[in-house]
Structure 1
Amino acid sequence: MSRSPSPSARPSCRRRRPDAAAGAAIALAALLAACGPAEEARAPEPRPVRTVTVTTREAGDTVALTGRIAAQDVAALGFRIAGRVMERPVNVGDRVAAGQVLARLEPQNETNAVRAAQADRAAAQAALTQASNHFERQETLLAQGWTTRALFDQAKKERDTAQARLDSAEAQLKTADDLLGFTVLKADAPGVVTAVGAEPGEVVQAGQTVVRLARQGGRDAVFEVPAQVLRTAPPDAEIAVSLTDDPAVTATGRVREVAPEADPVTRTFEVKVGLADPPEAMRLGATVTGRLRLDAQAVIEIPASALTRADRAPAVWIVDPKTTTVALRTVEVVRFDPAKVAVAGGLDVGEIVVTAGVQALHPGQKVRLLGARP
């Protein structure tokens, strides 16, 4: 006979149903949460930067450039013929006089050529003497009627031929004498030896530099000048030059020569300043400083900390005031020092330039100007 469940068992089954419903609700809520849209990533905060507004000012600054002392007239001297150097009695730094021997070549071949030319001239002279005597006899006989016109003409022809051979022999002797003289290299003017290109015993070619001579007469101060300085320099300006290691030694001068083409590496122009009565202490090769007052002009100056690089060129970060984003722009720098930079092109008045934090920026980045509300 089956027994009916006790009353106490039924209530326990009814208590488990609400617990199962609660678990299903929690699982459904978790599923719905997983299927919902992901939370959007937070936008980066604008980067705080310091800036300046571009302005111009009238400036007539003094430009100081470093250069060197050089001779106004430098000659590279060499032999006109090839040969073996026998001696070179001068060295770098020696002062030489006009006509002083600088070097010699071994002259054996040239001496032999002179002797051969002298022998040829003597033979030609003897032949001319014989032909002249024969012509004179034929001339006398013709006048007396004892010879023919044909023999007279033949004698005249032989005399003229002998004279031509003598002229040729004398020219060859002159050439041989010149070649012998070319074995001796002499100074064509007083000056100082600045370099040598061959030592005794070396075989040199015709035209090869053996001695470089800085002729006396004048000295230049040579500088490498940027193009912007050339454009702003006043015409025929007087330039003050002083020794870099002793500023008390000074001289003045004016531009004598400007290179027509810029140096392909530095993009600067070589400028030679002719010095008026330079002191003896300004020796060749000495380092000097030249100072020039530029004409007053409107220039743009920004802090040096604003300068960065883009594609190997100077650049700055510009802030767009409407979107407060930054963009990189290349500029043309005239001059700079540890505190400020003078800009010739690339910036306009009123533009905002970042001066602090430039290393951590990227194009299009949003920034916050320090002092403004975030």
Structure 2
Amino acid sequence: MAPRLSSRSMTVRMAGLAFALGAALFTAGCSGEDDGDEPAPIRPVRAVTVEAGQSGQVVTLTGDIQAEDEVSLAFRVSGRMTERLVNVGDAVKAGQVIARLDPQNALNTLRSAQAALAAAEGRLVQAQNHYERQERLLGNGFTTRALYDDAQQGLRSAQSSVDDAQAQLKIAEDNVSYTELTADAPGVVTARGAEPGEVVQAGRMIVQLARQGGRDAVFDVPAQLLRSVPANPVIDISLVDDSSVTALGRVREVAPQADPVTRTFRVRIGLENPPAAMRLGSSVNGSVRLDSAATIEIPASALTAFNSQPAVWLVDPATLTVALRNIEVARFNPATVAVSSGLGVGDIVVTAGVQALHPGQAVRLLGSGS
């Protein structure tokens, strides 16, 4: 007959079994958590290895040919224009009449000035004779000093009137001459601003004249390119529709202020002995070699942003993990980005898959190149 256990023994045994069961469940639970903790996936990416860029990169912009010296010809007096003797495209010579105003009013003013001068000269002769008589009488003691002084003052007044009349006559003659607009230098008419029969005000452009003696190639240049161009560069100019027509030029003028819309600067290149085929308004390409400092270029797809600045993902070749690094961009091209600082030769830059990365991410390189 089996011995009977006391109630105290039963209680101790049940507590031991409960403790053993709890320990087993805890151990099983911990073992399950360890089995489910998988490592982070390795992200496949494409990358390039940074190499020193070529020095002296050539940049080409498109512009047009303009006259080195272009002026707007206008009348110096107002009036009704009766004729314009030239049109757009006409070649003119120095002194050639461009247009005429109705001269009738100017001629009337001229005749009035001529009459005023004749009257003033008559009064001057009369005052001169009176003065000479008073001078002789005063010398002989037959007149007073007061009468002599009055005659002298009258002579001076008459002389002043003649001087004023002569000045008015010169103004009237000039106004008559101003009714004819002449070219002050040879050139080509590039625009017109008024038609015969119109009443034009003084200073209104009648024709625009491109003076002979020089042509410019004009370009709109970004500010970052201006900073990269060496001092006093030689610019190669060629026609867009015929690259065999070429000329050399140098920077003659840079606009002091950027265009408010395009944010570019207008640059005028003075051409040296331009060929006749480079006519006014022709489209041209201008090529310039940038400074000789070597540059680093990376694919545009590698560019991202970090701290509101341009950045790239760099691969640590030892651990194959990525990290962000800010860079300074010198210029943008459609397919590449020129980096002025932030990268060094040998750096591995991620070029594809940059959107799915985070700092410390393990990666697998699918390809590399330069």
- For Structure 1 versus Structure 2, the TM-score category normalised by the shorter chain is 0.7 to 0.9
Structure 1 partner of 2:6: none
Structure 2 partner of 1:87: 83
Whether contact under 8 Å (1:102, 1:185) holds in the other structure is yes
Q: 2:130 matched to 1:131?
A: no
In structure 1, what is the Cα distance between the partners aligned to 2:155 and 2:103? 36
Give how far 1:43 is off.
11
Structure 1 partner of 2:256: 260
Give 2:145's match in structure 1, choosing from 139, 144, 149.
149
Residues 251/157 of structure 1: CA separation in 2 closer, same or farther (3 Å cut): same
Deviates further, 143-152 or 162-171 = 143-152
Residue aligned with 1:85, SS: strand
1:202-227 Cα offsets, whole Å, 9 max, x none, are: 33333222221111111112222333
Residue aligned with 1:270, SS: strand
Equivalent position amino acid for 1:292 in 2: V
Give how far 1:276 is off.
1.6
Give how far 1:233 is off.
3.0
Give the CA RMSD over aligned residues: 3.4
Give how far 1:285 is off.
1.1
Structure 2 partner of 1:336: 333
Give how far 1:243 is off.
1.1
Whether contact under 8 Å (1:316, 1:354) holds in the other structure is no
1:252-289 Cα offsets, whole Å, 9 max, x none, are: 22222222333333333322222121111111111112
1:35-76 Cα offsets, whole Å, 9 max, x none, are: xxxxx9x99967643233444334222222222111111112
In structure 2, what is the Cα distance between the partners aligned to 1:343 and 1:370? 23
Give how far 1:316 is off.
5.6
Matches within 5 A, 1:131-210: 131-210=127-206
Residue aligned with 2:244, SS: coil
Q: 2:215 matched to 1:219?
A: yes
Whether contact under 8 Å (1:326, 1:367) holds in the other structure is no
Residue aligned with 2:205, SS: coil
Give the percent of matched residue pairs that are identical in Structure 1 and Structure 2: 55
In structure 2, what is the Cα distance between the partners aligned to 1:365 and 1:205? 75
In structure 1, what is the Cα distance between the partners aligned to 2:172 and 2:304? 69
In structure 2, what is the Cα distance between the partners aligned to 1:328 and 1:363? 12
Whether contact under 8 Å (2:314, 2:325) holds in the other structure is no
Structure 1 partner of 2:313: 318
Give how far 1:240 is off.
2.0
Residues 78/302 of structure 1: CA separation in 2 closer, same or farther (3 Å cut): same
1:297-348 Cα offsets, whole Å, 9 max, x none, are: 12111124435799xx99565357589577696853525254x332335656
The TM-score with structure 1 as length reference comes to: 0.75
In structure 2, what is the Cα distance between the partners aligned to 1:202 and 1:188? 23
In structure 1, what is the Cα distance between the partners aligned to 2:296 and 2:196? 60
Which sections of structure 1, spanning at least 5 residues, go unmatched? 1-39
Equivalent position amino acid for 2:333 in 1: F
Q: 2:279 matched to 1:306?
A: no
In structure 1, what is the Cα distance between the partners aligned to 2:268 and 2:98? 29
Matched residues, number: 331
Whether contact under 8 Å (1:66, 1:287) holds in the other structure is yes
Give 2:234's match in structure 1, choosing from 234, 238, 241.
238
Equivalent position amino acid for 1:103 in 2: A
Give how far 1:120 is off.
1.4
Give 1:121's match in structure 2, choosing from 117, 124, 129.
117
Which sections of structure 2, spanning at least 5 residues, go unmatched? 1-35
In structure 2, what is the Cα distance between the partners aligned to 1:354 and 1:154? 105
Residues 167/61 of structure 1: CA separation in 2 closer, same or farther (3 Å cut): same
Equivalent position amino acid for 1:318 in 2: W
In structure 2, what is the Cα distance between the partners aligned to 1:350 and 1:278? 47
1:132-157 Cα offsets, whole Å, 9 max, x none, are: 12222222333333333222221221
In structure 2, what is the Cα distance between the partners aligned to 1:113 and 1:330? 75
Residue aligned with 1:297, SS: coil
Whether contact under 8 Å (1:304, 1:341) holds in the other structure is yes
Whether contact under 8 Å (2:315, 2:349) holds in the other structure is no
Residues 72/363 of structure 1: CA separation in 2 closer, same or farther (3 Å cut): farther
Equivalent position amino acid for 1:281 in 2: A
Whether contact under 8 Å (2:249, 2:270) holds in the other structure is yes
Residues 78/50 of structure 1: CA separation in 2 closer, same or farther (3 Å cut): same
Residues 120/230 of structure 1: CA separation in 2 closer, same or farther (3 Å cut): same
Matches within 5 A, 1:341-360: 341-344=337-340, 353-357=349-353
